Amino acid sequence: MKTYDVVIVGAGPGGIYAAYELQERAPQLKVAVLEAGHPLERRKCPIDGKTVLSCVNCPRCSIMSGFGGAGAFSDGKYNITNDFGGTLHERIGKRTALELMRYVDGVNLENGGAGCKLYSTAGSRFQKLCLQNRLKLLEASVRHLGTDVNAVVLRNLYDRLKDWADFYFDTPVRHIRLDGTGFVAECDGASFACAKCVVSVGRSGSKWMEAVCAELGIGTKSNRVDLGVRVELPAVVFEHLTDELYESKIVYRTEKFEDNVRTFCMNPHGIVVEENTNGIVTVNGHSYEDPALQTQNTNFALLVSKHFSEPFKDSNGYGESIARLSNMLGGGVMVQRFGDLTRGRRSTVQRIEEGLVVPTLSATPGDLSLVLPKRILDGVIEMISALDRIAPGTANDDTLLYGVEVKFYNMEVELSDRLETCHPGLFVIGDGSGITHSLSHASASGVFVAREIAEGV
């Protein structure tokens, strides 16, 4: 049994920033970071677009786990806002949440991110244009690090932390046990005792987190899933928006069902990628800061939020079933031209090849109306028409829709305003807590908890 003052479970942005801030504020503490995935340099998704075209279900998905967490190969869009990306501000206050996000942004800049542009929607002329078309542009500042710079920042943070904290990779924690006033993190063949434990297991650790909460009698609730598609179109169609704002988060309220549909994760000149969550293949996207790696296309998700009420509790199960259906029909991610969808026919390899948009992901041409529930699909179609009014060309026949994109929300863990469970000293942060859904909120929650711990030393 190894003994530490603090054990951090998970080396995603939440865990990394918890470690960073502990090193800053309480360097005398002995800290271990236990990570299920690989070190940064060993993280490699086998999909190469040539011999391996789609997900082969690796035991540890390199896109989702390892040093840097799910964010490591992400587009590194660092949003500074309380309007989306999580509800951290409801626990720690709006001002503190923004201060912490700005603090992390500053650290990112010091560690390789300097020079990356900060975009802002404040005072943008697009706010009026959106409102005139039943759309709402959400307020945010976004620093676009890009996948390449994001990796540099992570490497620098690791170099800074590695001689101070003990990192254990390929070390999934199986159980957390209460031990007197402390905790024991049990792994295969090793156990780690600690006075304080910070759990930051992200989305890939959602099922595990649920089991830990059940074992330790920690309350949880879950009632939301976002479902939709990833849209890919020529970058010029959205250029007026993306040049000024980079990422525009736009919300549309559907006429038919009065559901909210929103744009999510916009990647100018980016690529569409597969994502594997607990063996289910869904779609995502990212882009590079380096012009040499950029494409002619822009992609973004259109998601419809689905909130369930009693007695149904398994919102993620619902999202998974729909993603499985798409995997069953398409063998992975499915792609359809918008024109084929509105004409009620499946897309074919030939129709996609003849289209004006060259897909950046090799996906199976199919029919999304056989996968997505009518309510979701109607919302997506309505929103594409609304976006066409502010970005003409969005509703062109050749616009590609990849499905399905699912945004799973971890069940929300019952936590105090210190992000502490009912067991004093056991904290849950980042996306694993269900409170954050973004790089900025997850990182900020890590800094927040590290300061709470350092104050008590």
Ligand X SMILES: Cc1cc2nc3c(=O)[nH]c(=O)nc-3n(C[C@H](O)[C@H](O)[C@H](O)COP(=O)(O)OP(=O)(O)OC[C@H]3O[C@@H](n4cnc5c(N)ncnc54)[C@H](O)[C@@H]3O)c2cc1C
Check residue 451 for interaction with ligand X (CB under 6 A): no
* Contact set for ligand X, span 160-199 (CB under 6 A): 172-173
Other Cβ atoms within 10 Å of 403 Cβ, number: 32
Check residue 146 for interaction with ligand X (CB under 6 A): no
CB nearer to ligand X: give 14 or 365.
Answer: 14
* Contact set for ligand X, span 281-300 (CB under 6 A): 284, 286
Distance in angstroms (rounded) separating the CA atoms of residues 419 and 400 = 41
**Contact flags string 46-85 toward ligand X, x per CB under 6 A:** -----------------xxxx--xxx--xxxx-x-----x
Which of 19, 26, 31, 35 forms a contact with ligand X (CB under 6 A)? Answer: 35
Check residue 108 for interaction with ligand X (CB under 6 A): no
Span interacting with ligand X, options 28-36, 303-311, 346-354, 361-369, rule CB under 6 A: 28-36
Distance in angstroms (rounded) separating the CA atoms of residues 132 and 343 = 28
Which of 431, 435, 444, 450 forms a contact with ligand X (CB under 6 A)? Answer: 431
Distance in angstroms (rounded) separating the CA atoms of residues 149 and 76 = 8
Span interacting with ligand X, options 10-18, 218-226, 360-368, 387-395, rule CB under 6 A: 10-18
Which of 334, 438, 447, 450 forms a contact with ligand X (CB under 6 A)? Answer: 438
Rounded to the nearest 5°, which phi and psi values hold at 381?
-65, -45
Minimal distance, residue 385 CB to ligand X, in Å? 27
* Contact set for ligand X, span 255-274 (CB under 6 A): 265
Other Cβ atoms within 10 Å of 243 Cβ, number: 11
Which of 6, 7, 8, 37 forms a contact with ligand X (CB under 6 A)? Answer: 37
CB nearer to ligand X: give 182 or 202.
Answer: 202
Check residue 432 for interaction with ligand X (CB under 6 A): yes
Minimal distance, residue 325 CB to ligand X, in Å? 21
Minimal distance, residue 399 CB to ligand X, in Å? 21
β-strands 426-428, 190-199 pairing: parallel
Which of 43, 89, 91, 203 forms a contact with ligand X (CB under 6 A)? Answer: 203
Distance in angstroms (rounded) separating the CA atoms of residues 456 and 434 = 25
Span interacting with ligand X, options 237-245, 299-307, 393-401, 430-438, rule CB under 6 A: 430-438
Other Cβ atoms within 10 Å of 42 Cβ, number: 12
Distance in angstroms (rounded) separating the CA atoms of residues 54 and 311 = 37
Check residue 11 for interaction with ligand X (CB under 6 A): yes
How many residues line the site for ligand X (CB under 6 A)? 45
Q: At what angle do helices 146-161 and 13-25 cross, to 10 degrees?
A: 40
Q: Which residue has the tokens 């993280």?
A: 43
Other Cβ atoms within 10 Å of 160 Cβ, number: 15
For 170-279, strand residue ranges (E) read: 173-179, 182-187, 190-199, 220-221, 224-234, 250-253, 260-267, 271-277
330: exposed, middle or buried (Cβ count in 10 Å: 0-12, 13-18, 19+): buried
Reported residue count of the chain is 457
CB nearer to ligand X: give 98 or 395.
Answer: 98
Contacts with ligand X by CB under 6 A lie at 9-15, 34-37, 63-66, 69-71, 74-77, 79, 85, 172-173, 200-205, 208, 265, 275, 284, 286, 430-432, 437-440, 442
